[in-house]
Structure 1
Amino acid sequence: MKKFISIIFILCSLYSHSQTWDELIYQGKQERANGNFEKAGELIAKGADLKGTDNFEHYYYAAIMYANANKLDSSFKWLEKCIDAGMYDWARWQRNKRLKALHPDPRWSALKDKMQEAERKHTAALSHPVLRTELKQMWKNDQDLVGKWDEQRKIVDRNTVRLNEIIEQYGWPTRAMIGKDGAWMAWAIAQHSHDLDFQKKCLKLLEGNLQTADAEPVLYAELYDRICRNTGQKQRYGMAIIEENGIKKFYPIEQESAVDKRRRSIGLQPIKVYANENFVGYDK
């Protein structure tokens, strides 16, 4: 009997170790949907560790889950990991209502100090740190007005004009110029723009970089599919996700059987991985 139990334990262990990072993220988000915040945090943090790179969003999500579970020590631990992984958006942390319980703790202000120091070191290696600072402020101005549509629209329009001036001067801002987060903020500003022609202009610049060291395939594909969705066309890369009756699903995909071939051609992971990462049930 003991031998049988040992075999079952070994088999279970082997199964758990064979799980991929995206499967762990999906399971964590399932636990979150079931209200099991501590378990959600544990699984998502494991998935982030296993992913290894481009993972601070998952550490951040894990920290939020632990805060929801009132496990503040664990929440602080994973917020520190966010900083180590390259997250420098203090305004976003400060706005997040789910992290309010951490604010009175002295470790909260210590995290701010740590982030500022890490960001200083990060920007020291960039060729255009002042431009990154400007883009960061532009994005903050946008996000500070979420829920205030009329005011936010004015900022979005102003940001569109300014980003257009920037790309006329520099071309598309690259990671070497403004860092990974800076390049993301430039893209986010373009993504929020109401000017379709401007979005297409940005898309063309991102497309031109796809075969270079400055390639940003995720940003390119997300903007491509956003334009498709906004113009009533099927998406091409499977980056646009919608929600119906509380269930996440992909916005209709052009020639869905070939989507992974298209994704692979620009350096994206299979759509199943992206689905798991974003808690979309997908079995095709």
Structure 2
Amino acid sequence: MFIGSHLSISKGFVETVKQAIKMEANTFQFFTRNPRGGKARKLDIDDFKKADELCEEYNFASLLAHAPYTYNFASDNDKTWEFAKTRLKDDLYRLQHLNCCKYIVIHPGNHLKKGIDFGIERIAEAINEVLDGNENTMILLETMSGKGTEVGFKFEQLKEIIDRVEHNKLMGVCFDTCHTYSAGYNIKNDLEGVLEEFDKTLGLDRLKAIHLNDSMHELGSRKDRHARIGEGTLGLEGILNFINHPKLKNIPLYLETPNDIEGYIKEIKIIRYGYLG
């Protein structure tokens, strides 16, 4: 099983990999730059190379880059839209030097009352302007909860975006358990049915990463509030049934629960050994 949490890379990738190892993790997620802004760390190729070696030595799954929340690929504001495109292009340039990270996850965007169809078209257009087909990092669209004017809370919406991307071999999906449950997909009581729908709509081969979170709210609430594992409406049994499904067993898990490092260490043990303890 490959599992990790969200970690800060403020001390560099090598130190963050070492921190993950101490936590008994074998992957982790990180923000490519300030999550509420656009500033990124100075590119350190030597740090990247040493991190690659350490990840290989400890048999890590791919690290998962996460784009900042400030990117809105569905916006009708040209300044906002250009900001998202130029920063994602720079993220992909940086990530080509980090072999242990094959994926970057993005929130598709908010259409801001322009409508889902407008948002889908705008997102696809932005990605088409970013990708040239030679990237070694795949863009993963995250499944969203559907709060506000979010695009991407239905599998069909993600499919429409991907279908409109020219180089869609570089497109995949990150499945967020809290978001998807809140969007109305009953992964607690009908997981097989949800996975069948995902496979029919998008294809399970597109599913590359899982954000593993419990949910503070009920099925179909359209609210994005993560809970600690076993403390939400999915519950420990629901989470364990999800991760142990045969179709999901080999997909890396990335915790995004409201926790500090000690809390993440506890949750990694819960997931590995199957009980709260």
Q: TM-score range by the shorter chain?
A: 0.3 to 0.5
More helix by share: 1
More strand by share: 2
Q: Computing the radius of gyration over CA atoms, which structure comes out larger, 1 or 2?
A: 1
> Please, what TM-score do these two structures have when normalized by structure 2?
0.36
